[in-house]
Structure 1
Amino acid sequence: MKKYFIQKEPFVVPTTDGKLIEEHHGLATTNNSAISIAHMIAPPGWSEPFQTPKFDEYTYIIKGKKQFIIEGETVVLETGQSIKIERNTRVQYSNPFDEICEYLAICTPAFSMEMVNRED
């Protein structure tokens, strides 16, 4: 039995906002509840509702910029920067800029709709 797994077919999460989400490891792909790793591309003008996740989320910006509103404070990350947002923190993610934002998101435990706590 191999002691490694190469992900060649990430799960593409269906979206309606133009954002590309490719989960490489996590609940949807490898049934791993401990961690999720996703490659994402957010188009210009994209945003999500505020949320208070029950997981830590790490974000690494590959290209472009991404805006975070964290407990009322606005933070902008640029190419080559990363951030950790601790679980139970109210946050909104967006790309209000006029270029795409490509990034990696790592969640521990793994991302799930039941744990993200998005506001309406």
Structure 2
Amino acid sequence: MKKYKIQNTPFVVPTTDGKVIEEHFGNATDGNSQISIAHMIAPTGWSEPFQTPEFDEYTYIIKGKKQFIIEGEIIILDAGQSIKINKNTRVQYSNPFTIACEYIAICTPAFSMDLVNREDQ
């Protein structure tokens, strides 16, 4: 048995908001993972509802900008910047800018809809 796994076919998460989510490792690809790593592209005008996840989330911006509202504070990251948001923190993610935002998101434990705790819009 090999002691590594190369991911050539990430799981493309179906979305209805134009966001591209390619999970390279995580619950959608492995079924029972401790970490999730996803490549994402958020189109202009995209946003998610506020949420209070039960996981730490690390985000690295590759291209564009991404807006975070964290416990009421607005933070904007540019390409080359990264952030860690601790679990049990109320946050909203969006891209109100004029170009798409490409980024990598890492969650520990792995992202799960059961752990994200999204609020109704």
* Fold match (TM-score > 0.5): yes
Q: Which residues of 2 match residues 41-120 of structure 1 at below 5 A? A: 41-120=41-120
CA contact 1:21–1:38 (8 Å) conserved in 2:
yes
Aligned Cα root-mean-square deviation (Å): 0.6
Paired position in structure 2 for 1:29 = 29
Q: Secondary structure at the match of 1:115?
A: helix
Task: Identify unmatched segments of 5+ residues in structure 1.
Answer: none
Q: Percent identity?
A: 80
Q: Distance in 1 between matches of 2:116 and 2:14?
A: 17
CA distances 1:3-44 after superposition (whole Å, capped 9, x unpaired): 000001100000000000000000000224310000000000
Give every structure 1 segment of 4 or more consecutive aligned residues whose post-TM-superposition deviation is greater than 4 Å. Answer: none
Q: Secondary structure at the match of 1:93?
A: strand
Q: Distance in 1 between matches of 2:99 and 2:64?
A: 6
CA contact 1:25–1:32 (8 Å) conserved in 2:
no
Q: Secondary structure at the match of 1:29?
A: helix
Please tell me the residue identity of whatever aligns with 2:86: E
Q: Distance in 2 between matches of 1:49 and 1:109?
A: 21
User: Which shifted more, 31-40 or 72-81?
Assistant: 31-40
Paired position in structure 2 for 1:20 = 20
